[in-house]
Amino acid sequence: MSGPAIKSALAIGFDHASETLSLVLNGAGLTLTTTVPVVTGARVLLADSTHDLLQVFQAALNATPSLPGGTTFSVSISAATGKVSIACTGDTFKMTGLASSAVGAALGWTSAATPFAAGFTADEQPKYLILAPSRTSPGWSPKTPMAAASTAGGASYGTTSATTRWEDEIVFDFLPTDPAARTLVDSLATPWEPAAAFLASLGSHAAPWSVSDCLAVALGQTCALARGNFQALCTSTSERYDLVAISGADLAAPRSAYQVPGWEAYRRWTVSLIRQTTPTGTRA
């Protein structure tokens, strides 16, 4: 696909359980075992080094017991396609069980990483990451719960909360309606809904995922928003993203409409995001 560039992203938090994977090195003639640790509150890309599944997986590969000196791995996401790649320096490798592992499935693998090669790219974009070409909003605004009224003379009175939250209403435009529409319009964006066969299993099926899948698993999770700086975040550890929660109302009843009335190719998604107490983070 070669549609409009990905500009913004929303990463959904999830928990990753510990697992072991078989790693086979061709030149060294070794079959090794890589252990990916438990990550509570993991996210893809938009997280610090101990919670970003890309960086956690890379660290696990490089910490593989008996890994020969001079053999190293890198795990990255393409700013152009939004797909994850694993590259090996110093040898060629294969991971037969990658697609059936939790980490491989989350990062978009649906087929085995074979035969031996210096690198592999995922079949699909990651599951817990919404990618969008267009995002607009009025910006962060303070919201304070209160009960207030005014007198006939114009004086206000009432009671107010000591807590103020910051909220923004984001509009993501030009999201393909489903994977078929995504192919038809040659888009890189995450589709609004999955293929019809997966509508009854939102958030629990194989990639490719949709916005609706991500919303199905977002309750109670810390999420992260790249406000137009997705491209920079793919490589930077100092670029900032916003730490947010999706409003409960928009999880219960998501707001979506056709981008162009009468044309079912694209959807527009409107969602209220609430900034966390720690408002921003980096990938460091």
For the chain, 284 residues long, the average pLDDT of each consecutive 10-residue run is 87 97 98 98 98 98 97 98 98 97 98 97 98 96 79 79 86 97 96 97 97 98 97 97 97 97 95 95 98
Q: Could you tell me if 31 and 63 lie in one domain?
A: yes
Q: Could you tell me if 62 and 105 lie in one domain?
A: yes
For residues 275 and 245, give the distance between their C-alpha atoms in angstroms, rounded to a whole number: 7
For residues 46 and 283, give the distance between their C-alpha atoms in angstroms, rounded to a whole number: 7
For residues 228 and 61, give the distance between their C-alpha atoms in angstroms, rounded to a whole number: 31
pTM: 0.93
Quick check: is 106 in a domain? yes
In this structure, the strands spanning 223-226 and 93-95 are unpaired
Residue 151: the pLDDT is 80
Q: Could you tell me if 89 and 219 lie in one domain?
A: no
Q: Could you tell me if 123 and 165 lie in one domain?
A: no
Quick check: is 149 in a domain? no
Return the amino acid letter for 106: A
Quick check: is 3 in a domain? no
Peptide bond into 208 cis (omega under 30): yes
Cα–Cα distances in Å, from 101 out to 26, 58, 77, 110?
21, 15, 18, 10
For residues 255 and 272, give the distance between their C-alpha atoms in angstroms, rounded to a whole number: 10
Quick check: is 26 in a domain? yes
Quick check: is 154 in a domain? no
Tell me if 39 sits within 8 A of 30, measured CB to CB. no
Q: Could you tell me if 65 and 95 lie in one domain?
A: yes
Q: Could you tell me if 166 and 274 lie in one domain?
A: yes
Eight-state DSSP code of residue 282: -
In which region does residue 268 sit, left (phi positive, over 0), alpha (psi from -120 to 50) or beta (all else)? beta
Residue 207 three-state SS = coil
Residue 1: the pLDDT is 61
Q: Could you tell me if 53 and 181 lie in one domain?
A: no
* Structural domain boundaries, residue 105: 10-127
For residues 16 and 130, give the distance between their C-alpha atoms in angstroms, rounded to a whole number: 18
SS3 content of the chain, % helix, strand, coil (to 5): 15, 40, 45
The separation between CA 166 and the C-alpha centre of its own chain, rounded to angstroms, equals 22
Peptide bond into 37 cis (omega under 30): no
In which region does residue 45 sit, left (phi positive, over 0), alpha (psi from -120 to 50) or beta (all else)? left
Q: Which residue has the tokens 């999706």?
A: 246
**Number of domain units in the chain:** 2
Q: Could you tell me if 25 and 122 lie in one domain?
A: yes
Q: Could you tell me if 104 and 137 lie in one domain?
A: no
Q: Could you tell me if 262 and 134 lie in one domain?
A: yes
Quick check: is 18 in a domain? yes
Quick check: is 1 in a domain? no
Peptide bond into 133 cis (omega under 30): no
Of 112, 183, 111, 5, nearest to 195 (Cα)? 183
Q: Could you tell me if 202 and 87 lie in one domain?
A: no
Q: Which residue has the tokens 């490589």?
A: 235
Q: Could you tell me if 79 and 184 lie in one domain?
A: no
Strand partners for 23: 32
